[in-house]
Structure 1
């Protein structure tokens, strides 16, 4: 099989992805089917194992496949997908609906849909391979290549006292893998972790699955952070760690004021608590934002995590973490995890940073996201006519909508699925039953011919599902 045949400009993993989609459609019928191993597919398709891993990571994120430790990857059966749409875990139902053909998927938050650097990455990869055909792929670097780690360290350095070194940066195959390592290294099993709410369901499910006691700290409806409750929790609970966003909390779109940031930093220092900072949206504000929380807290009790996917897209699925105090244990865990990372692609991303191309791309992406948010705001006001309320987002690619009347949001979700539209009910972003009257709705979907129909359908579903 020649993966470059019809579309010469593709990354190899994109061709592998399309091949796997066809394979899954052929074999996935009545029960889960074991898929070929990474090594088997690498031999069959004549591409690297890391390329196969990228494609599998995307398929797993989309909910088309799932992995079993020491057993490999399996495709969800079509019959089970149909059953999931009507019953069972809500997140599984969302994944099952989103991967059905012809669905209008409004549930995501994928900023990079509005701008891609895959062409620039491909060009840089080819240049690197021509100049260094063997040297750049000759040895494994389990924590990521030095060039990219150094580029990230430089980007996160803000002063002589707030500085990072390359050996304090660790890069993994994807954000899930990096977070799994962090949960182990921080020893979170059985501990108490305070998490801002709403919170990304990937993070919540990983913490829950690891046996962490999660205490959710919801934002006030007016966008204020509940500092009184945070102080009470730190005083009366054995809180090991607090998980907060660096700049913008998504999907709510809330931003801590400078006074709130200073108070949070004071409370964390006073109680000797670790901060786990989520920087996934740290560079996706539409306008200049206040300094990140990490610039105010004790750097010795700070861990930062993020990924390239929100800014560069699926062609750069790597997750990464920065930490000063956990270096030895992180090195060991990354070595044992043995992520299979493309050194060429990592170096290409590093070149984007060093050349200034990334900053140019980011500026364009931020502007387009702001324009799309304004356009979606006009659509929401037109189609919903007071049925929902929202605060204008300041970052990212989604709106956090609240129904103005009490509705059965699961019923709304199911009604929308029958109309081939997927939304993300707010309860997905909580483990304790919060946000039942909310929806996360993507605003990067403009241009789709059925968007206006989908919004009208959602407005009707909200009206018909009132409690």
Structure 2
């Protein structure tokens, strides 16, 4: 019997690989209770590893109760370790999951991940100085438990900033500081989706949003998106949805901006059906051809729930976001926030408040817009130079990603795997869609965290793969 295999290049310790394999097979029932395992010496010889590695793996399994030793007899699978509901563990990353860094063993991987800002350009020195100053000057009460809605200093500062930059109409009491946008979305789902609920979502839309709203009793309805965002003339009749989730200032992933005519149609529909609109405004500060588009919330603060985050503007590591609510929902949201994690870390809130109050945020956004614009233009240059009329670029006026549409190509899991094997990771738009076939030819290419030389090499590698998939090969192919 083949007990296990090991991969010396994957970066996971050998004992851990062996432990995980036995653990999984015991939980799945492949190794049944009472079944004898090979001796440590036998298994070490079979796998050509040190006996110490096997002993360490067996000791971990023994400590967790998966196996038992019988004096003078050997090692056996313990009783009661089979878990019927456990399925087979996935082999490798799940297609479409956004990973924040190259996999172990692939330091050369060029990752066109969307939603990731330039991590090396985070103003760490300034942030560190502000953090030091905050810790030395802040009153002792800031080191205790805080209010669930967040520090008043940050809420007041944020309200002023959002009125000025995004046209948001709110008072500090309407704002709740969250641990990123993900928590804000989770709070909304728990507050509004009780019992039988209908939810309207853009199609396509971030896959994780589908998951967070897919609660028992909730029916999700997809409304198609085009180059101008949600197609509001297709909003369903006969429904009274609890909420409508939109990304109007920069639709994810296709990049459209919802025009005022559609915004009016959406607001009228929401008023007619008694629905709340959830506006996700995740990276609209980075608009390259004009000033940022005004928020939808500014049209009807009593109907719109507004979500923002600093993960794209500054860094995902901060885990700072916010939720602006109609007054009628504020107390309910505070209670849910308190039950979730008491409050978002206070010291980070105070540092961010100083960062905004002193004008550093607006200067940082202004600086990064110039850098991202240059990276965007270079990516478009590389795409058009390499693929010519085989590629159409869209959704590039805002944010830190764009859409590349490749004529005659369907990005199947097999093709995506082939591309990654050549050292470049790309993300299919179809992963985020209900109507997947309409988006099989589209890739989401993020450029925020990539230098120009990485972009150039990544597109070169992508071209080397796709050039073999065209119905008719291009002649005189060019590279950046």
Instruction: State the TM-score, normalizing by the size of structure 1.
Output: 0.75
Q: Which residue of 2 aligns with 1:109?
A: 115
SS in 2 for 1:386: helix
Partner Cα separation in structure 1 for residue 248 and residue 138 of structure 2: 37
In the superposition, relative to structure 1, how do residues 436 and 295 fare at CA in structure 2: closer, same or farther (>3 Å)?
same
Q: CA shift at 1:448, angstroms?
A: 6.0
Partner Cα separation in structure 1 for residue 21 and residue 181 of structure 2: 25
Q: CA shift at 1:33, angstroms?
A: 12
Matched, 1:456 2:460: yes
SS in 2 for 1:196: strand
Partner Cα separation in structure 2 for residue 24 and residue 348 of structure 1: 37
Matched, 1:413 2:416: yes
User: Of the candidates 145, 155, 173, which is equivalent to residue 149 of structure 1?
Assistant: 155
Q: CA shift at 1:456, angstroms?
A: 2.4
Query: CA deviation digits over 1:243-277, x for unaligned, max 9?
Result: 11241112211012222222322232233221000
Gaps of 5+ in 1: 1-22, 35-78
Check whether the contact 1:408–1:465 (CA below 8 A) recurs between aligned residues: no
SS in 1 for 2:349: helix
Q: Which residue of 1 aligns with 2:192?
A: 186
Matched, 1:84 2:114: no
Matched, 1:329 2:332: yes
Q: CA shift at 1:403, angstroms?
A: 1.7
Partner Cα separation in structure 2 for residue 281 and residue 302 of structure 1: 18
Partner Cα separation in structure 2 for residue 226 and residue 314 of structure 1: 31
Matched, 1:355 2:363: no
Matched, 1:121 2:127: yes
Partner Cα separation in structure 1 for residue 171 and residue 184 of structure 2: 19
**Which entry has the higher C-alpha Rg, 1 or 2?**
2
In the superposition, relative to structure 1, how do residues 350 and 255 fare at CA in structure 2: closer, same or farther (>3 Å)?
same
Partner Cα separation in structure 2 for residue 162 and residue 175 of structure 1: 17
User: Of the candidates 258, 275, 283, which is equivalent to residue 277 of structure 2?
Assistant: 275
Q: Which residue of 2 aligns with 1:447?
A: 451
Q: Which residue of 2 aligns with 1:6?
A: none
User: Of the candidates 224, 233, 238, which is equivalent to residue 228 of structure 1?
Assistant: 233
Query: CA deviation digits over 1:70-94, x for unaligned, max 9?
Result: xxxxxxxxx967x234xxx4235x6
SS in 1 for 2:209: helix
SS in 2 for 1:277: strand
In the superposition, relative to structure 1, how do residues 175 and 407 fare at CA in structure 2: closer, same or farther (>3 Å)?
same
Partner Cα separation in structure 2 for residue 409 and residue 284 of structure 1: 31
Instruction: State the TM-score, normalizing by the size of structure 2.
Output: 0.73
Q: Which residue of 1 aligns with 2:476?
A: none
In the superposition, relative to structure 1, how do residues 432 and 132 fare at CA in structure 2: closer, same or farther (>3 Å)?
same
In the superposition, relative to structure 1, how do residues 152 and 430 fare at CA in structure 2: closer, same or farther (>3 Å)?
same
SS in 1 for 2:277: strand
Query: CA deviation digits over 1:348-390, x for unaligned, max 9?
Result: 1011111111111111112222222111111110112222212
Structure 1 residues 147-186: aligned runs within 5 Å: 147-157=153-163, 163-186=169-192
Check whether the contact 2:178–2:320 (CA below 8 A) recurs between aligned residues: yes
SS in 1 for 2:338: helix
When structure 1 is superposed on structure 2, of 202-211 and 178-187 the one drifting more is 202-211
Q: Which residue of 2 aligns with 1:140?
A: 146
User: Of the candidates 9, 12, 17, which is equivalent to residue 29 of structure 1?
Assistant: 17
Q: CA shift at 1:293, angstroms?
A: 1.3
In the superposition, relative to structure 1, how do residues 113 and 218 fare at CA in structure 2: closer, same or farther (>3 Å)?
farther
Partner Cα separation in structure 2 for residue 218 and residue 133 of structure 1: 51
Partner Cα separation in structure 1 for residue 452 and residue 116 of structure 2: 15
Partner Cα separation in structure 1 for residue 439 and residue 368 of structure 2: 29
Check whether the contact 2:306–2:324 (CA below 8 A) recurs between aligned residues: yes
When structure 1 is superposed on structure 2, of 393-402 and 287-296 the one drifting more is 287-296
Check whether the contact 2:241–2:273 (CA below 8 A) recurs between aligned residues: no
User: Of the candidates 302, 305, 312, which is equivalent to residue 304 of structure 2?
Assistant: 302
User: Of the candidates 192, 196, 199, which is equivalent to residue 205 of structure 2?
Assistant: 199
Query: CA deviation digits over 1:51-102, x for unaligned, max 9?
Result: xxxxxxxxxxxxxxxxxxxxxxxxxxxx967x234xxx4235x649943331
Q: CA shift at 1:32, angstroms?
A: 9.2
When structure 1 is superposed on structure 2, of 301-310 and 440-449 the one drifting more is 440-449
When structure 1 is superposed on structure 2, of 201-210 and 150-159 the one drifting more is 150-159
Query: CA deviation digits over 1:87-127, x for unaligned, max 9?
Result: xx4235x6499433312111332234473133222111101
Q: Which residue of 1 aligns with 2:70?
A: none
In the superposition, relative to structure 1, how do residues 201 and 120 fare at CA in structure 2: closer, same or farther (>3 Å)?
farther
User: Of the candidates 91, 97, 103, which is equivalent to residue 99 of structure 1?
Assistant: 103
In the superposition, relative to structure 1, how do residues 315 and 384 fare at CA in structure 2: closer, same or farther (>3 Å)?
same
In the superposition, relative to structure 1, how do residues 236 and 32 fare at CA in structure 2: closer, same or farther (>3 Å)?
farther
Matched, 1:343 2:351: no
Q: Identify the structure with the greater helix proportion.
A: 1
Instruction: Give the number of equivalent residue pairs.
Output: 391
Q: Which residue of 2 aligns with 1:438?
A: 442
Check whether the contact 1:121–1:345 (CA below 8 A) recurs between aligned residues: no
Partner Cα separation in structure 1 for residue 127 and residue 21 of structure 2: 35
SS in 1 for 2:113: coil
Q: CA shift at 1:400, angstroms?
A: 0.9
Q: Which residue of 2 aligns with 1:20?
A: none
Q: Which residue of 1 aligns with 2:250?
A: 248
